[in-house]
């Protein structure tokens, strides 16, 4: 409250000096007030009263100056000047030379050297010691022991100044060495910080409770994608609102690290905007007695290395050609299968129509017409007298009923034929529509594309007795390459159909699920209760050439994974083991790769 705004923002050393100045001023003001109360009983009331009032004004002015100065030097000079003048002048007005030997004299070298420094305080100490050791004894005519006491007081004042000078010199040397050490430490810290901040690897340090101590920029960016907030020092690395799978895996890892083990593993977080594979190493930090006091986390992006290992030994252009041919063959197989089934129905309907028309009694109408034409002149007599004429109405009634029955059957077969032809047209149109947009990013509804993929497999799924359940989130639009996504879906549905066929289960179930995971990503899941995937086969599932089917070629899932990566999507699989079914998932960006770029 006594300092100006610039002094409040000054260095720590200057603020400590200001605190000493304020404390000394307040102490001297309190002593001066007591001195003024004592003045009426002194030998020179007016002189001592004048000194007391002057000191009261001077000490108050030093506090006043502190509120308006940018440095403590001015108020310090005022305080030291008044203190020296008041003590020396009081000795002249007193009748006893011992007044000049009051312990308050030692405040002069102590405050002056602390507030003004060694050499700037020397004039005040010199004036005080000269007054106490020489002028006051001469003024009062001191003799013998009194003179020696004054001299010793002056020597001790100079000695106190010297001790203070030695203290300031040693403190200055220590401050210099400390500043040099701090400068070296800051330079080392700056180099280390620059090294960690400029590396693309994820680096952070944690305490024994898993609270964050420091993290570099790469970790902060990845943390923002995973958790959705900035990591703060002192917070848990994975708080309560973090995904449950992340927290469980991290807790298991920290238990091993706190036991003194070094843990290393690979991770591919699905929440990242770009699918990445990280080689993560968590190391314990030990103290002098071998106790774990913290841990360090290092993570390196090995996505490129993984991709290089996956594509080792294959020619990229040949693989793309094979993938295109495989996709076309898969779609053509579905189209031909559906068209073939529809053509079977058409063939049956046409044969039935031919058979019905061959056996039709419609020629009886012509015979009746000829008979009536022959007896046109005597038609009445023919219908009443002739035996054939009398049977003609009954014959026409029977013939009409039979022709009506034939007409109903023929109409039904024509309707069936029309339905089959429409089905063929829809299958061909759907194939043409998907082929037309190959390689183009467009905005489409995922559920409609899923229904198209299911229709291509509809006949085979029905023949195998596979029950399909759709669990859709309606109205979800994404920006993707229609052909790439359809190719992936057809591969997944084909694999699910083969898995269910191989399982031999009577209750074959296929679940198609569409759900929004976060605001910008969508997940498509294809789950079946087929033969499942063994744990030893799971790591190689998406590698080129790997297959568990006898007649498989081993590149369907690999092609699908590459196509997903090209769409900024991520294809994965989970299975409890053999006989437990499998779930394939595609995580898609809703905005699409075009808008992201």
The C-alpha R_g of the chain, in whole angstroms, comes to 51
CA distances from 290 to 121, 206, 210, 287, 295 (A): 54, 17, 18, 5, 13
Q: Which two tokens stand for residue 305?
A: 């290395």
8 A C-beta contact, residue 337 and residue 383: no
Note the pLDDT of residue 427. Answer: 60
Cα distance between residue 341 and residue 453, in whole Å:
17
Q: How far apart are CA 470 and CA 449, in angstroms?
A: 13
pLDDT confidence tier of residue 596, bands split at 50, 70 and 90 = very low
According to the model, what pLDDT value does residue 268 have? Answer: 80
Q: Which ranges constitute the DSSP H helices of 207-302?
A: 217-227, 244-258
Instruction: Count how many residues are written for the chain.
Output: 597
- Is residue 59 exposed (0-12), middle (13-18) or buried (19+ Cβ within 10 Å)? buried
Which position has the higher pLDDT, 228 or 42?
Answer: 228
Q: Give the residue carrying structure tokens 């639009």.
A: 477
Distance CA 221, CA 226 (A): 9
CA distance 487 to 456: 12
Tell whether the model's pLDDT for residue 229 goes beyond 70.
Answer: yes
Q: What is the pLDDT of residue 527?
A: 92
How far is the C-alpha of 263 from the C-alpha of 258, rounded, in Å? Answer: 10
**What pLDDT band is residue 115 in, cutting at 50, 70 and 90?**
confident
Who wins on pLDDT, 433 or 295? Answer: 295
H-assigned helices in 288-315: 303-310
How far apart CA 330 and CA 491 sit, in angstroms, is 8
User: Do 279 and 302 meet the contact criterion of CB atoms below 8 Å apart?
Assistant: yes
Which letter does DSSP use for residue 117 in this model? -
| Contact between residue 410 and residue 329 where contact means Cβ atoms under 8 Å apart | no
- pLDDT level of residue 428 (50, 70, 90 thresholds): low
Looking at the chain, the whole-number percentage of residues with pLDDT higher than 70 is: 84
pTM of the entire predicted model: 0.35
> In this structure, how many other beta carbons lie within 10 angstroms of the beta carbon of residue 209?
9
Output the pLDDT for position 419. 63
| Residue 330 contacts residue 490 (beta carbons within 8 Å) | yes
**437 neighbors 485 (Cβ within 8 angstroms):** no
Supply the pLDDT for residue 597. Answer: 34
pLDDT tier at 503, thresholds 50, 70, 90 = confident
Read off the pLDDT band of 310 (50, 70, 90): confident
Task: Select the more confidently predicted residue: 14 or 353.
Answer: 14
Report the mean per-residue pLDDT for the chain.
79
Task: Kindly state the average pLDDT of the residues 511-516.
Answer: 89
Give the Cα separation of 283 and 252 in Å (integer): 14
């Amino acid at each position: 409250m006594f300092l100006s705004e610039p002094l409040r923002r000054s260095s720590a050393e200057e603020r400590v000096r200001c605190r000493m100045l304020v404390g000394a001023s307040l102490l001297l003001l309190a002593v001066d007030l007591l001195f003024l109360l004592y003045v009426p009983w002194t030998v020179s009331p007016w002189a001592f009263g004048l000194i007391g009032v002057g000191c009261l004004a001077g000490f108050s002015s030093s506090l006043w100056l502190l509120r308006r100065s940018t440095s403590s030097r001015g108020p310090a000079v005022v305080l030291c000047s008044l203190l020296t003048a008041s003590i020396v002048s009081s000795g002249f007005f007193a009748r006893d030379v011992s007044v000049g030997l009051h312990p308050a004299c030692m405040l002069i070298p102590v405050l002056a050297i602390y507030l003004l420094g060694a050499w700037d305080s020397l004039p005040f100490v010199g004036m005080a010691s000269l007054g106490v050791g020489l002028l006051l004894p001469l003024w009062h005519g001191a003799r013998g022991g009194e003179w020696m006491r004054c001299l010793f007081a002056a020597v001790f004042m100079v000695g106190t100044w010297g001790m203070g000078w030695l203290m300031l010199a040693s403190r200055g040397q220590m401050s210099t060495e400390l500043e040099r050490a701090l400068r070296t430490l800051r330079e080392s810290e700056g180099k280390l910080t620059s090294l960690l901040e400029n590396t693309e690897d994820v680096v952070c340090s944690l305490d024994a409770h898993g609270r964050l101590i420091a993290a570099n920029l790469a970790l902060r960016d990845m943390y923002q994608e995973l958790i959705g907030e900035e990591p703060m020092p002192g917070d848990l690395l994975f708080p309560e609102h973090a995904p449950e799978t992340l927290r469980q895996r991290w807790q298991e890892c920290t238990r091993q690290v706190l036991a003194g083990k070094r843990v290393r593993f690979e991770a591919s977080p699905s929440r990242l905007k770009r699918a990445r594979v990280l080689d993560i190493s968590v190391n314990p930090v030990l103290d002098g007695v071998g106790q774990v006091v913290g841990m360090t986390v290092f993570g390196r992006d090995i996505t490129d290395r993984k991709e290089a290992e996956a594509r080792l030994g294959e020619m990229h252009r040949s693989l793309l050609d094979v993938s295109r041919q495989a996709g076309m063959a898969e779609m053509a197989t579905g189209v031909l299968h559906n068209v073939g089934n529809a053509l079977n129905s058409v063939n049956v309907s046409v044969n039935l129509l031919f058979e019905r028309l061959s056996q039709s009694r419609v020629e009886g109408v012509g015979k009746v017409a000829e008979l009536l034409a022959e007896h046109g002149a005597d038609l009445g007599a023919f219908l009443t007298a002739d035996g054939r004429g009398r049977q003609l109405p009954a014959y026409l009634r029977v013939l009409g009923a039979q022709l009506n029955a034939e007409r109903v059957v023929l109409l039904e077969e024509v309707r069936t034929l029309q339905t089959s032809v429409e089905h063929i047209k829809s299958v061909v149109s759907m194939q043409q529509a998907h082929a037309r947009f190959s390689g183009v990013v467009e905005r489409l509804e995922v559920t409609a594309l899923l229904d198209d993929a299911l229709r291509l497999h509809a006949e085979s799924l029905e023949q195998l007795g596979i029950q399909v359940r759709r669990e859709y989130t309606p109205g979800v639009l994404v920006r993707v390459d229609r052909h790439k996504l359809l190719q992936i879906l057809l591969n997944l549905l084909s694999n699910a159909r083969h898995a269910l066929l191989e399982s031999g289960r009577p209750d074959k179930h296929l679940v198609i699920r569409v759900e929004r995971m976060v605001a910008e990503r969508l997940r498509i899941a294809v789950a079946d209760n087929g033969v499942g995937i063994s744990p030893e086969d799971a790591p190689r599932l998406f590698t080129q050439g790997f297959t568990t089917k006898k007649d498989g070629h081993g590149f369907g899932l690999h092609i699908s994974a590459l196509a997903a990566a090209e769409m900024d999507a991520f294809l994965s699989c989970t299975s409890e083991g053999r006989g437990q079914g499998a779930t394939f998932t595609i995580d898609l960006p809703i905005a699409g790769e075009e808008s992201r770029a």
